[in-house]
Amino acid sequence: MRRALPPALIVLAVVGVFVVEILTASSNGNEGEPAPPLPAAVLRAPKVTLADLRGGPALINFWASWCDPCREEAAELERLYGSLPTGAHLVGVDYTDQEGPARAFIKTYGWTFPVLSDPDGVFGARYRFTGLPSTVALDSRGRIVRTLRGPQTVSDLRRALNEAKRD
């Protein structure tokens, strides 16, 4: 006769699955792949393409004006931009948002770095991130090194740039 698994073992197995999911949350499976194209629509000049980002590490930050965690991160992005190492790049991509609220967000937080617009989410979907904000770190060849999920600090973003610089 077969015995049923003890409830504690079942709970332990379920918890294990969640732990693995959490530990892999900063990876979305596209590391090492060439970065997909960026949108052409510009909210804050200059227009930036992937070719413009090559030659140094780069961060692409996907955000939206309706995203509360994006507000938490907004000042950190501007602080980072003001002190980027030579050759490093930062570009924002407004994801599935309306132009008016997006421009107001940029003005509110005093962003001075380039910001592109992806109102339909077509370009962002190619990056396969889940949730906003998400920041994608690229190496000097335009390959994805890492995707950071959730609001980041300047030190988190610097670590991602340093990791991308090593590749």
pLDDT at 1: 53
In a domain, 162, yes or no: yes
Neighbours of 8 (CB within 10 A): 8
In a domain, 38, yes or no: yes
In a domain, 56, yes or no: yes
In a domain, 67, yes or no: yes
At 8-18, the pLDDT tens digits run 544 444 433 33
In a domain, 74, yes or no: yes
Lookup: tokens for 56: 């140094």
Q: Work out how many domains the chain is built from and give that number.
A: 1
Per the listing, tokens 């995203």 go with 67
**Residue 166: pLDDT band with limits 50, 70, 90:** confident
CATH assignment of the domain containing 145: 3.40.30.10
In a domain, 98, yes or no: yes
pLDDT at 147: 96
At 99-115, the pLDDT tens digits run 999 999 999 999 999 99
In a domain, 111, yes or no: yes
| Backbone torsion region of residue 128, taken as left when φ is above 0, otherwise alpha when ψ lies between -120 and 50, otherwise beta | left
Question: Which domain does 148 fall in, by range?
Answer: 28-166
